[in-house]
Amino acid sequence: MSVYHRLLLILAPGAGPSSALNRAAALAEASGAAVHIVTCGSPYAALWLMDRAVQERLHIEFIKGQELRLREVAEQLRTRGIQATTEVLWTEDPLDELLRHVEELPADLVIKDTFREPALQRAFMTPLDWQLLRECSVPLHLVSFAEHPLPWKVAAAVDLSAPVGETDQLNDRILAAARDLALQCNAELHLLHAYEHSSGYPVYGTDTLEWPSAQERELNRQRRASFEGLADRFGVPNDRRHLVLGTPLRIIADFTRQAGMDVVVMGTLTHKGLGKVLGSTTEHALYQVASSIFAIRPPVEG
**Distance (Å, whole) CA 134 – CA 126:** 11
**Distance (Å, whole) CA 268 – CA 167:** 11
Same domain, 288 and 184: yes
Same domain, 116 and 169: no
pLDDT tens by residue, 20-60: 999 999 999 999 999 999 999 876 544 555 667 777 788 88
Note the pLDDT of residue 49: 53
Same domain, 129 and 166: no
**Distance (Å, whole) CA 138 – CA 110:** 7
Per-residue pLDDT averaged across 215-230, rounded? 86
Same domain, 134 and 77: yes
CATH number reported for the structural domain that contains residue 220 in this entry: 3.40.50.620
Question: Does the predicted TM-score (pTM) go above 0.95?
Answer: no
Question: Last residue of a domain, which of 99, 118, 150?
Answer: 150
More confident residue, 164 or 19: 19
Note the pLDDT of residue 285: 81
Weakest-pLDDT range from 77-86, 157-166, 171-180, 273-282: 273-282
Highest average pLDDT, of 45-54, 56-65, 68-77, comes from 68-77
215 half-sphere exposure, CB direction, 13 A CA radius: 9
Same domain, 155 and 49: no
According to DSSP H, which parts of the chain are helical? 19-31, 52-78, 94-104, 119-124, 128-135, 168-185, 213-233, 248-258, 274-278, 281-288
Per-residue pLDDT averaged across 185-211, rounded? 68
pLDDT tens by residue, 133-169: 989 999 999 999 889 999 999 999 998 876 655 568 8
- At residue 278 the predicted structure's pLDDT band, cuts being 50, 70 and 90, is very low
Residue 39's closest CA among 62, 56, 19? 62
**Distance (Å, whole) CA 70 – CA 84:** 10
Same domain, 119 and 248: no
Q: Residue 222 belongs to what domain range?
A: 151-302
Task: Indicate the DSSP class of residue 264.
Answer: E
Question: Last residue of a domain, which of 124, 150, 176?
Answer: 150
Same domain, 292 and 185: yes
- At residue 274 the predicted structure's pLDDT band, cuts being 50, 70 and 90, is very low
pLDDT for residue 81 is more than 70: yes
